[in-house]
Amino acid sequence: MNLNLAGKVALVVASSQGLGKAIAAQLVEEGAYVMITSRDEEKLQKTKQELEFIGKGKVEYFRADITNPDEIKLLVKVTNEVFGEIDILVNNAGGPPGGDFEKFSDEDWISAFNLNLLSYIRVIREVLPDMKKRGGRIINIASSSIKVPIPGLILSNTFRTGIVGLSKSLAEELGQFNILVNVIAPGRIATDRVAFLDQMKADKQGVTREEIEEKSKNTIPLGRYGKPEEFAKVVAFLVSDASTYITGSSLIIDGGLVKAI
């Protein structure tokens, strides 16, 4: 199957590590021209060095804080100047702090909203002029909590489900321009974020992180955590020319963990 990603311009947000980095790597391997971004310039430099020789694609980076609307506008402007019009957007963001409802102030809620929902809205707004000309692909990364809320992650549970409502609405509005909008939700993928959450749960229960990880694996039909590259391959398919009739969907990549229908 030819994904036909060679020469396509992709903006992958929060891509200096974790799932964003894995997605950027897969797209570069498939020949896409990829702009990576995060707030950590040192990590971005290192990631660029790792990715620029892995395939036929190209990779550049631009440091940006996606909670800052001016920096988002500059990010898209620079991507246009470096690579041209954007064909693919992968919205991604680090998770908000864990904790129960009574722990969080208004400021915490506003911060999580800015990072995990409003940033997606703002980046989409900036890339639409490019995509409305010739179509495009938008992937909004969420979490398996869009189906089953995760205890102790009320901020994430709230705004990740907001991503689904946003994406469903946009799929309908933007279909006339051949812009496909989908949500991809990771389950237990072996990233630093999941390791952090496992450690947080371990500390709360007074056990080791390894014990928590083993318990989690026992709830997954495939019996293991997913690999970032496994997740990235699904994203690569959905942003490619091999996927032309999937929009408004939410796909959970979790090894069968979520039992909700």
- Model confidence at 24, pLDDT cuts 50, 70, 90, reads very high
Whole-number pLDDT of residue 251: 97
For the ranges 29-33, 71-75, 94-98, 231-235, the lowest mean pLDDT is seen at 94-98
Distance CA 114, CA 229 (A): 28
Q: Does the pLDDT of residue 158 top 90, yes or no?
A: yes
Q: Is the pLDDT of residue 196 over 90?
A: no
Rounded to two decimals, the pTM is 0.95
Pick the CATH number of 9-187+227-245 from 3.40.50.720, 3.40.50.300, 3.10.520.10, 3.40.50.1110: 3.40.50.720
pLDDT band at 116 (very low <50, low <70, confident <90, very high): very high
Comparing 6-10, 82-86, 166-170, 199-203, the range with the smallest average pLDDT is 199-203
Per-residue confidence at 261, pLDDT binned at 50, 70, 90? confident
Q: Does residue 95 surpass a pLDDT of 90?
A: no
Tell me the average pLDDT across 114-118.
98
What pLDDT band is residue 174 in, cutting at 50, 70 and 90? very high
Cβ-in-10-Å burial (0-12, 13-18, 19+) of 120 comes to: buried
Question: Average pLDDT, stretch 25-44?
Answer: 98
**Which residue ranges make up each domain of the chain?**
9-187+227-245, 189-225
Please report the pLDDT score of residue 55 as a whole number: 87
What's the DSSP call for residue 149? P
